[in-house]
Amino acid sequence: MNEHDRIHLILPLAASGDVSPEELRQLREHLDGCEACRRANEEFAAIAGELRGIPTPQPSADLVARVQEMGTTRLGRRRAVLHDTAVLAPLVLASWIAALATWPLLKEAAAWVFAGWQMPSGPLGTALAVYSASGLLLASISAAAVGVYARTVRRTR
């Protein structure tokens, strides 16, 4: 792209006042020696002046209020989804961890079942009781959270 073509790209921007001081200096230098670009610059300046004279339509106060309300509602929904995701993600992660922790206990539980359903004593019995209680609690909390989230999503659609 030569200098003349580059100046032609800058002319509309210069007419609207959207050029840097360096570009404005280069434009003035070029216009001093180029009659065609000077005429084009004058035409763009005249068009820009006419455009500035056109009144800008203003939206009604009712329209502005409705758009603001819609934006606030959508922003609230987005924040709610992010919040719900932040709450549900740790619950899902904890559920996965609890599920993975069952593999070592599953072997012992199978032996317990085949031993006549006698509750083992000692650390194994304690581990099974704690695991069962925490698993039930975690599953209940996760199910309740997913239910509340699903209900919220249905309401906002």
pLDDT at 145: 77
Q: Residue 117 has what DSSP assignment?
A: S
CB count, 10 Å around CB of 14? 19
Each residue's pLDDT tens digit, 18-44: 888 898 888 888 888 888 888 988 998
Each residue's pLDDT tens digit, 106-116: 666 666 666 66
CA angle, 77 as apex, 74 and 81 as ends, to 5°? 140
pLDDT at 133: 73
